Amino acid sequence: MSKFIFITGGVLSGIGKGIATASIGRLLKNHGDKKIIVVKCDGYLNVDPGTMNPIEHGEVFVLNDGTEVDMDFGHYERFIGTEGEGDWNITSGKLFLRLIDKEREGKFLGKTIQIVPHAVNEVIDWWIELAEKHKPDYMLIEIGGTIGDNENFWFIEAAHRLSHNIGIDNIAYIHLTYLPMLYNTGELKTKPAKRDIALLRSMGINPDLVIARSHYVLPERIKHKFNELNLNPKQIISAIDMNNIYEIPLMFYENGMVDSLSDVLHEKIDVDLSKWEEVLNNMKNPTNKLTIAICGKYTDLHDSYASVVEALKHAGAHLRTEIEIKWVETTDIESGVLSIQDAIGNADGILVPGGFGSRGVEGKIKVIQHARENDVPYLGLCYGMQLAVIEFARNVCGLKDASSKEINPETENPVIDILPEQKDITTKGGTMRLGAYPANLDKGTKVYNLYNSDVVQERHRHRYEVNPEYHETLKKNGLIFSGLSPNKKLVEFIELKDHPYFVATQAHPELKSRFEKPAPLFFGFVRACLKRK
């Protein structure tokens, strides 16, 4: 029987429920090779975050199966290593679609369909189906939003009612709450958390553990204040603000999480964090420092590039290198507010991440030209590869007006064109080329040496590609296609020969980088930046 572990959050949003869930998963992971799956329930009515502006919702994370999911899946994968599946992200949009489809099929004939019990039962059925399909030892279920929000009510109600289906002994409820500090006295206040727990109980959920986020470790005296709610100090786990999210599993461990979890799950949990600690030690004791310029469009909202930043940090940790990020807004270069020199300064490496549309594009192309001509290590991801091809076509192959049809539909030289299978697609949700696809790598290339494999699978999210009509021209002028799709039509990886590191890919390798196992192209990039420095 799987154990269901729910993680809810209260008092306010943004206190780190996703990281807390990922950290609990990491603590449970090496315990006798237990199988873990992590489910996230999101209240919004969009089917998935794929069509939301990153400014509204942060990065869109893409799974192997091509589902666009909440960015918390990035934390789960980076911490735990389990690769998620599309139906592990249950949004209200997906839930109601499923319910209404069933109603149309006549599955509820004669009945009035209501949130309680029908939507709630649908959630329970979904969770039980996942448990039956994957047979995990632990199924972590994070419920998005804050207790008391209207839009996650059906998930909370389902978490409460699940105990009737599978018995309370197979369920653990963990609640993350917040203790504000009064700055003039330095005192931690418990009342908001107590009211929040009372609210949770009024919804039928009695937390087994409370993670109390606060500015400093809770003194026993403060923990005892929760006695009046019938919670003993061992049920209160202190979670302090941390600059480095990778310290959180260890911080939980040190603050008694594992003992308390053992009590709650009725089994002794032995934890193996040795590899994690080793990488963390390297990260905390760097011997080098690099500045990497990330040149993009949403650079004030760092969450829209979360996986890219984490992948750089992972590679840095494995090379004992601290990574400082310089955010470069390419619209400023395009408009002439910033010169390349001012924008890039003496950054040790340049990275152009994924992106859409034409705003800021000419600035990105200038930055790429600067990297190519001045031997600055360059890593291009998706749009960052397409724009590198445009720059190469313009400035090396002499195709002055080379562009992408996405940027200039009238261009005479569409070196980047829409994928043939994308031409007739008019709907937006989940219709890009999404998910993991294989690429065959060419022996002897930098990319091959980094992956050390003939075939690799990376995840994708795009509609455009390098136009096959220009393959010959690009190759003749020295652009190396280091990896192609199995039918050889689609360019997946490119690189340049006489350059310390000029590598780009149509894929998003950042999505598969793990704290304990960095993504090869990021590792190669950081190593090249170090070498040049």
Name residues contacting ligand GLN, limited to 399-428 (CB under 6 A). 406
What would the two tokens of residue 267 be? 């089994």
If the CB atoms of residues 462 and 499 are measured against ligand GLN, the closer one turns out to be 462
**462 lies in the site for ligand GLN, by CB under 6 A:** yes
Q: Which stretch binds ligand GLN (CB under 6 A): 33-41, 53-61, 88-96, 380-388?
A: 380-388
Active-site amino acid positions: 382, 508, 510
Going by C-beta distance under 8 Å and a sequence separation of 6 or more, which residues neighbour residue 249? 23, 26, 27, 79, 273, 276
Per the CB < 8 A criterion, the answer to whether 461 and 68 are in contact is yes
**383 lies in the site for ligand GLN, by CB under 6 A:** yes
Per the CB < 8 A criterion, the answer to whether 527 and 323 are in contact is no
DSSP string, 322-364: EEEEEEEEHHHHHTTSS-HHHHHTT-SEEEE----SSTTHHHH
**40 lies in the site for ligand GLN, by CB under 6 A:** no
**58 lies in the site for ligand GLN, by CB under 6 A:** no
Cα torsion 366, 294, 85, 432 to 10°: value is -20
What would the two tokens of residue 231 be? 């919670």
Least Å from the CB of residue 506 to ligand GLN: 8
Q: Which stretch binds ligand GLN (CB under 6 A): 54-62, 171-179, 266-274, 459-467?
A: 459-467
**509 lies in the site for ligand GLN, by CB under 6 A:** no
**382 lies in the site for ligand GLN, by CB under 6 A:** yes
CA distance 491 to 493: 6
Q: Which stretch binds ligand GLN (CB under 6 A): 105-113, 257-265, 378-386, 436-444?
A: 378-386
**355 lies in the site for ligand GLN, by CB under 6 A:** yes
Least Å from the CB of residue 405 to ligand GLN: 10
What backbone phi and psi angles, to 5 degrees, belong to 150? -70, -35
Least Å from the CB of residue 175 to ligand GLN: 36
Residue selected from 298, 437, 464, 493 as contacting ligand GLN according to rule CB under 6 A: 464
Closest listed residue to residue 499, CA positions, set 521, 532, 465, 470:
532
Q: Which residue is nearest to ligand GLN (CB)?
A: 354
Alpha-helix residue ranges (DSSP H) falling in 375-454:
383-395, 446-451
Q: Are strands 61-62 and 187-188 parallel, antiparallel or unpaired?
A: unpaired
Least Å from the CB of residue 464 to ligand GLN: 3
Q: Which stretch binds ligand GLN (CB under 6 A): 118-126, 203-211, 350-358, 366-374?
A: 350-358
Provide the β-strand partners of residue 214.
Answer: 240
Residue selected from 356, 369, 471, 533 as contacting ligand GLN according to rule CB under 6 A: 356
Sites of contact with ligand GLN (CB under 6 A)? 354-356, 382-383, 386, 406, 461-464
